[in-house]
Structure 1
Amino acid sequence: MTLKHFTAALALLTCTAATNAADAEFYNKGNPPGRPFSLAVRTGDLVFLSGQLGTDDKGLVPGGFEAQSRKAMDNVADILKGMGLGMDNVVKCTIMMADMSKWGDFNKVYVSYFKPGRLPARSALGANGLALGGEVEVECVAYAPTNK
């Protein structure tokens, strides 16, 4: 990233962020008790989603990497839906995988959640140990203008 690109990204973030932290909206509908984080935080026109694992109310879903990948993406979609948003609002995702050799397998699941030609910017990285022993975690940022 060049300094010019960094400056432009910082300017965008500054323009879309709330004027102060007191203006942020914290979304926790359906967040299991005891989790030390909000599912999402809206500040201005941006919504930051916490990383989602392939879990349901019983823990990690059975079925391995593909099942966990689908459930993590479903969890992202469910949080957005609860906020009145959808996957079309997602502009950036960060994917963390316990095994980077499964990157191609994840991509097959991932693209099914977005319209062709409308894929968010994305980073993917290998992680040495995800929460709850998960195989994949998905974190996203959504754009949702407040002045609709």
Structure 2
Amino acid sequence: MARRDAIFPEGRQALYEINKYSAAIRSGDLLFVSGQVGSDAEGQPVQGFRAQVEQAFTNLGSVLAAAGAGFDDIVDVTTFHTDPERQFFPDVQEVRLKHFGDAPYPNWTAVGVNWLAGFDFEIKVIARLPAAG
């Protein structure tokens, strides 16, 4: 079995070491990004739902950039919400459209959950990495 090609955003490796997982794994031309939450540099939740969503997207952007990718390379999205009926519109919708721009949009699955370790929103994605060169 090939060794995992782990990707880490600059400055946040310690958080992944503490929790024993990778920010993302590259497999061929695909990038599987672990769930990103609205955490600050120390791993603590930022205050307010909208702020958590914006920070989760910022953290996601950092992981994508570390792999040489961006939001346009995302093909599949899964989000987790502690109160999906109240949380998806308008906060998540506005933030996601700011990052994904115009159609065609990536696939999207939103899942309601009852626990996110002190967070209210999490986003994980699969991206196709741009060709090198």
With the shorter chain as reference, the TM-score category is: 0.7 to 0.9
- 2:98 corresponds in structure 1 to 112
2:5 pairs with 1:25: yes
> Normalising by the residue count of structure 2, what TM-score does the alignment of the two structures yield?
0.87
Q: Report how far residue 52 of structure 1 moved.
A: 0.4
Matches of 1:44 and 1:54, distance apart in 2:
28
Number of equivalenced pairs: 126
**Which structure ranks higher in relative contact order (CA pairs < 8 Å, sequence separation ≥ 6)?**
2
Q: 5 Å matches for 1:26-105?
A: 26-29=6-9, 30-31=12-13, 32=15, 33-58=17-42, 59-62=44-47, 64-100=48-84, 101-104=86-89, 105=91
Structure 1: state its 5+ residue gaps.
Answer: 1-20
TM-score of the two chains, using structure 1 as the length reference: 0.78
- What RMSD, in angstroms, separates the aligned Cα atoms of the two structures? 1.6
Q: Which residue of 2 aligns with 1:18?
A: none
Inter-CA distance 23–145: structure 2 relative to 1 (3 Å threshold): farther
Large movers: runs of 4+ above 3 Å = 145-148
Identity value in percent:
32
Alignment partner, residue 122 of structure 1: 108
The SS at the match of 2:105 is coil
List per-residue Cα deviations over 1:26-78 (Å, max 9, x = no partner): 1134222302110000001110000001001231112x110000000111111
Mean Cα deviation higher: 90-99 or 80-89 = 80-89
Normalized per residue, the structure richer in helix is: 1
Alpha-carbon distance in 1 for matches of 2:76, 2:105: 9
Q: Which residue of 2 aligns with 1:5?
A: none
